Amino acid sequence: MKILLTGAAGFIGMHVALRLLARGDEVVGIDNLNDYYDPALKLARLARLRAHPQFRVEQISLENGTALSEAFHRAAPQRVVHLAAQVGVRHSVVAPQDSAGSNLQGFVNVLEGCRALKVEHLVYASSSSVYGANAQLPYAEDQGVDHPMSLYAATKRANELMAHSYSHLFRIPTTGVRLFTVYGPWGRPDMAMFRFTRAILQGQPLDIYNDGNMVRDFTYVDDVADPLVRLLDKPATPDPDFEPTRPDPVRSDAPFRVFNVGGGHPVQLLDLIDALEDTLGRKAQRRLMPLQPGDVLATGADTRRLHEWIGPCPATPLRVGLRSFVDWYLSQYAAPGRP
């Protein structure tokens, strides 16, 4: 197939693109290569993708509706994977306009591209952050998501609602994936796994928020890329069990679906640090910090609906995933002359 993939230079985007290319799909990547974190890492990811003759990339911002529309028409994709976004809960607190522009206006532009090209299926990244103040764990898709703890979370929930409106109005099959704390090789420098590894190796203290009393459902990147591609292959359909007199938030008579994609094995933050110390063979300096604005105390994914839809999904044990991440990090950043 011909796939348009936004966020191709991103962490998850690169891994998804590699899977699509490996099976013979043609992938047109879209990325604005912004400097939210070091663009050199994004360029290194793109270098891996450019080794494939079936890949090309265009540098475009989602907010530029005209440029994005033209890119859609040049690509003429059959299906779309939308992973580009202004990420970061804390970034949305200090720079809300960034989140609003990319995640709201940008998503409208993606939906318009899908409508104009009559794409067969749109798969897009939502986030576990939509569950917000909900403390009922594990999170299931039919639970309430009306109390976001950050603007980032609110934009991701808005994306789900916007997708539903296009599925209803224009019968565009859309599938949202609520991703849970993804980590692994080529990961983002602003995420805990990367920051903690760098700090331990450099002998710097780790900033541990809420005194470490936090739980996250860490999910290895392969365990995200695999179901994303399988979901792309199974377009959303109207749910025959939808009951409008008792509406389920993620059931619809439109071709619309939302799924949790997570490891399903939440881990205490302090236990993660213990495992990372064992993997690196070094002890961390720990600096306990208060809870940050927008953070939630715990996440955990109920993935039964996902498994019912596409079958069993891979689940990499944390210490196996840590070993893979650390090996990659050392190969990239621990060579002589590198930080």
The domain locations on the chain are 2-179+221-262+300-315
Per-residue confidence (pLDDT) for residue 139, from 0 to 100:
96
Per-residue confidence (pLDDT) for residue 156, from 0 to 100:
96
Is 2-179+221-262+300-315 CATH 3.40.50.720?
A: yes
Catalytic residue among 124, 152, 166, 329: 152
Per-residue confidence (pLDDT) for residue 91, from 0 to 100:
82
Active site residue 209: no
The residue written with tokens 């993804």 in the block is 182
Complete DSSP assignment for 182-215: EESTT--TTSHHHHHHHHHHHTPEEEEEGGG--E
Per-residue confidence (pLDDT) for residue 322, from 0 to 100:
97
Per-residue confidence (pLDDT) for residue 336, from 0 to 100:
42
pLDDT along the chain (339 residues), means of 10: 98 98 98 94 97 98 97 98 90 86 96 98 97 94 93 96 98 98 96 94 92 92 98 97 89 96 94 96 92 87 97 95 97 62
Sequence-ordered list of residues with C-beta below 8 angstroms from that of 249, at least 6 positions apart, any chain: 141, 142, 144, 145, 258
CA dihedral 221, 45, 75, 102 (to 10 degrees): 70
